[in-house]
Structure 1
Amino acid sequence: MAVRMKDVAQSLGVSIVTVSKALKNHPDIAKATRERVMAKIKEVNYRPNLMARSLVTGRSSLVGLIVPDLIHPFFSEIAKSLSSALRKKDFFLLVASSESDAVLEDAEIEHMLAHRLDALVVATTQSTSEKLRKVSENGPPLILLDRDFLDFRSNFLGSNDYKVGELATEHLIAIGRKKIAHIRGPENRVGKSRFEGYQHTLERHGVAIDPRYVIAPLGSVDVDGRRRGETAMKHLLSLKMRPDAVFCFNDMIASGAMMAALDAGLKIPRDLAVIGCGNYHYDELLRVPLSTIDQRIEPLGLRTAKMIFRLVEAEGPIRPQRVILEPELVVRESSRVVK
C-alpha cells in the first residue's frame, strides 16, 4: 500500500500541513523539522500524489511536448533544453512522438490532455489547423513549435526559415558556386519558406533556377532524413550537368547527401559544396565536417520555457505571442573556399 502524507505526519508527530510545507521548503518550517521530514520521506519511500495536488492547486506541474521524431537531433535537443529550464521551477516534461503521423499525433494529444497539463507544446504534422484550434479553445495553453499555420493565430516559437534559405544560398554563391541545388523539406511553412529563401536569393543574383536541381524527397524528412538525402543526391549525380553545390533542408538530409557523394568518388568541397540546417551535435564529427545554418536550438528551448511560465502564471487569457529567432551561418569544411 502506498505511503500517504498523513502516514508521514503521524509517524513524526506533526501535522499534515507541516509535512506539506517542508516538502515545499516553506520558510515557516524550521531547518531541523524539515530535515526530520525529509529523512522520514526517504526512509518510507513516500511520493507526493501529483493528481491530488493538482485538484487542490489547479496545477499539475506537467508540460507536454509532442514532436514528429524523438531520435531527430533538433527535437531531442529542444526537449533537453526545455526540460532543463522547466525543472528549475519544479515543472516536469512529458514527451511523445507522433512519428510524423497526424492520426497518431491526435491520439498523443488526447493522452497528454488526460494528464491535466499546465501547457502543451506541439511540433505538428497536421496539414490544417482545425484540430489544434479546438485544443487551444478547450484545453491548456497551447504552443506551436517550429511549424505553424497562416490561418491560426497561436503562441509560436521557431526560426526565421526564409532567412535559413537566404543565408545558405548567399554563402554558396559567395564561395563561387554557380549550379546550386536544393533538397527540399516537407510541404509545410518551414519547407516552403526555406525554398523561397533559396529561390529569391538565386533570382536576386541573376542565377537561373534549374528545376532539375530542386528535389523533393519522398516520405518524412523528420523520421528518415539521412536515407532521403542519400537517395536525392544519387538522383542529382545522375544528371548530365551535375550541380556544384547543394543546400539541404536539414543536417540529416545533408549527411545522407554527403555520404552518397563521397561514395560516388566526389571530393567535398572541391567537386561539391554542401550545407545543411540545424547545427546538430554530430556535424563536426562527420567524415567531412558539415557547414550549416544554426537554428539556435538551446535558446529556442529556453524561450519556450519562458513562454510557458508566462502563460501559466497569467491570471486570465493573454494575447498569443510569436517568437522568431534569427539563424546564423556556421562554416565548416564541407563548404570551405577551395584554393
Structure 2
Amino acid sequence: MKLELRALSARHPAARAGAAPAVRDLTLNLDAGEQVAIIGPSGAGKTTLLQVLACALPPSAGQLRLDSTAPWQLPRRALQRLRGRLFLAPQVPPLPPRQRVVTAVLAGQLPRLGLLASVRSLFYPADIPAAHAALDRFDLADKLFERVDRLSGGERQRVGLARALVALGPAPDGHRAEPAPAEPAHRAANTGATLLLIDEPLSALDPTRARQAVETLRDAAHSQGATLVATLHQVDVALAHFPRIVGLRDGALAFDLPAAEVTRERLAALYAQHEHELRGDVPPATLLDEGPQPVVMHCR
C-alpha cells in the first residue's frame, strides 16, 4: 500500500479542546512494500501518527491518501473495506484474559471474514494451522490452546505480533512467511492486510526475542508485499533492521533518511533532553517478560 501525507496534523484522541496537535504539518511519502521505522522521544507523536494511518483517527488538517484514495472522503462501507486492508498492532495487545491464544491470533482474519464466519470463529476456530504456523514463528506454538491470562507480558506481546502475521493472509507456501527474492515487492492480489502498523512491538521483549520479532515481521511483510511501519524506542534495532528511518520530535518531522545516514549527531539532536531514552537505561513501562501477569478484577 502506498502512503501519501501532505501537511498533515492530528490531535491525540484524549487531547483537550484547543490543545496543540500531537502531529503537525507532516509531509511524507511511502511506496508500496516499503519498510520504515519511526523513532523519537516520548510524546513525539508516533502513536498518534499510526492511528491516523490506520484510519482510526481523522487528521485535523492536511491530507492523507492510501493508494491514492482519501479515506475520510469515502462512503462508510468503502471506508470499512479499506480498514480491512490495514492492521494496527498496539503496544499492549487487547487480549481478553480468558480467551484462548488460538482465538486471539485468528482474530487477525476477522476483517476478511463474513459476519457469520466471524462469530463462528470465536467459538470454533477454523484455521488452527494458520494460528499454529504464526505462533511458531515466535516460538509460541506450544501456547496454542493456553488462556491469555496464563502468559507472561512478553508472550502476550508476541501473540499480538502473531496476529499480525495472520492478518497478512496465507504465506506463499501456505505455512511459512519467508521472503522470496524472485517475487515482486508488491502483490496486487494480496487478500490480507497490505499495511502493517506496529506500535512499539519490542517493549516487553529481551534483546534476543526483540531481534527475532523484527526479523519475522520484516520477512512476513516482504513475502506478502505489504508496507510495514513500526515505531521503536530501541534505536539500535531500528538502525540495524530498517532501511529507512523517520525521526519525529514534538510532532514534527526531524529527518527522513536511509539508516546509514542517521548519525550520532542527528540522534543527539532528536533526543535532546531525553538522552535516557536514547541510551535505553529506563525500563519499559509495559509488562515485562517475567512470568504470567495477575488478572485484576473489579467488583461493582
Q: TM-score, normalised by structure 1?
A: 0.25
Structure showing the higher helix proportion among its residues: 1
Q: TM-score, normalised by structure 2?
A: 0.28
